Amino acid sequence: MYRGYLLRRAFWRRGGRFHTAQREGSGACRSPPATPGGAGARFVDRTEGRLRWAHLRVDDGRIVPVLMTVDRANNGFHPWVLSPSDHSLQRALQRAAPGLDLTKLIWAAVDSARRISIPFLLSRTALDRFRVEAGEGAFACNMTMIEVLGNEMPIIEAETWLSRDQMSRIQEAEVVAEGHPGERFDDVYAEFREEWCVPPIRRSRRELGRRI
């Protein structure tokens, strides 16, 4: 839990405050409101006893990747890893080469965010000013904590996008490097994820299996 502790401490030292997502009820296993229909669905991974996939949905000026988990003991859905603002995607369309696929760009950013180095993030950038690679450039981001049914989870918010050839040396230095196994944001996310019970999915596994 060491990396998760460092991330929490750094967040609170800069005066961070919780954003709220799906906050209803008092129990960690209460069902959240129905999730609006999403798009851009993709397979994430499958291990013994667990299946995960994700989709994108729109929520108050942001695109929110939502992770769906089917597990023998812990099923549910919740926001996942990185959320780009509408403004950041508009900037990407303006600054990237013609024909940019925004869905691919968002998933590229999510994949990069999962791999970023926590030691690099905490020692060479700031939680309110760092960059995550995506496509031919990078998103300018900040880290926040959201609260899901009384449980905390870190989320990266992407606020704008620059192509590599538009970045200054300082901006290039803010791009977080890929971390080693055990030191990546995905590893810290897993630490947080293990601390709380994701609300159960209401449909049966058999029905979910037919829809995949």
The pLDDT assigned to 151 comes to 75
Query: Does residue 27 register a pLDDT over 60?
Result: no
Per residue in 45-77, pLDDT (tens digit) is 998 888 999 999 998 899 999 998 888 766 778
Confidence band (pLDDT; 50, 70, 90) for 131? very high
Mean pLDDT check: name the lowest of 72-81, 95-104, 181-190: 72-81
Mean pLDDT along residues 30-43: 59
This model's pTM is above 0.75: yes
The pLDDT assigned to 134 comes to 97
Token couple for 156: 């990266």
Task: Tell which residue, 212, 205, 182, has the closest CA to residue 54.
Answer: 212
Report phi then psi at 195, rounded to 5.
Answer: -80, -15
Query: Does residue 201 register a pLDDT over 90?
Result: no
Mean pLDDT along residues 149-163: 88
Confidence band (pLDDT; 50, 70, 90) for 172? very high
Query: What is the 3-state secondary structure of 186-198?
Result: HHHHHHHHHCCCC
Task: Tell which residue, 144, 145, 132, has the closest CA to residue 178.
Answer: 132
The pLDDT assigned to 187 comes to 86
Which segment, 11-15, 66-70, 160-164, is predicted with the most confidence on average? 160-164
- Between strands 18-20 and 137-148, the pairing is parallel
Strand pairing partners for 134? 137
Instruction: Give the whole-angstrom CA distance, residue 127 versus residue 183.
Output: 16
